[in-house]
Amino acid sequence: MSAYQDKNARPLSLSGHVGFDSLPDQLVNKSTSQGFCFNILCIGETGIGKSTLMDTLFNTNFENFESSHFEPRVKLRAQTYDLQESNVRLKLTIVNTVGFGDQMNKQERQAYS
């Protein structure tokens, strides 16, 4: 008996190939079964197209709240959605910056030559 064998060790039967070359497949299978979490921070002025970009990226229509260009300060609005495509689940959180850049004075911009 070699130094690395133990009399009390139980035998392990493998159902398939185990090795470094199968590691990417194992990670894909694990991630697919557990699902993914994805967070996106959208920053930009009101009406610039943040919601349209998110709808286009994920090929869906997220609920959009109308907001005014005259918000007194910037507010963060987080919305979480559970999406599924084929057998892959996605927990998506979109954080929108309501009022960002809306109170900037854009009338007196200087042009640089």
Mean of the per-residue pLDDT values for the chain?
77
Give 33 or 106, the one with higher predicted confidence: 33
Give the pLDDT of residue 41: 92
Q: How far apart are CA 98 and CA 79, in angstroms?
A: 13
Surface-to-core class of residue 59, CB atoms within 10 Å of its CB (0-12 exposed, 13-18 middle, 19+ buried): exposed
pLDDT at 11 over 60: yes
Question: What is the mean predicted confidence (pLDDT) over 77-83?
Answer: 89
Of 4-13, 18-27, 33-42, highest mean pLDDT? 33-42
